[in-house]
A = this chain, B = another copy of it.
Amino acid sequence: MARTTDGEGTPVPQRLLATATRLFAEQGYDRTSVQEIVEKAGVTKGALYHYFGSKEDLLQEVYARVLRVQQERLDAFAGSGEPIEDRLRGAAADVVVTTIDNLDDAAIFFRSMHHLSPEKHKQVRSERRRYHERFRALVEEGQRSGVFSSATPADLVVDYHFGSVHHLSTWYRPDGPLTKQQVADHLADLLLRALRP
What is the interface of chain A, defined by CB distance below 8 A to chain B? Answer: 27-28, 30-31, 110-111, 114-115, 149, 151-153, 156-157, 159-160, 162-168, 170-171, 178, 183, 186-187, 189-191, 193-196
Contact = CB atoms under 8 A, between A and B. Distances in A.
A123 to B, nearest CB: 17
A169 to B, nearest CB: 11
A196 B156 CA distance: 19
Nearest to A192: B194
Q: How many copies does the complex hold?
A: 4
Contacts of A170: 110, 166
B152 A159 contact: no
A96 B187 CA distance: 20
Contacts of A115: 28, 31
Contact of A193 (B28, B166, B193): B193
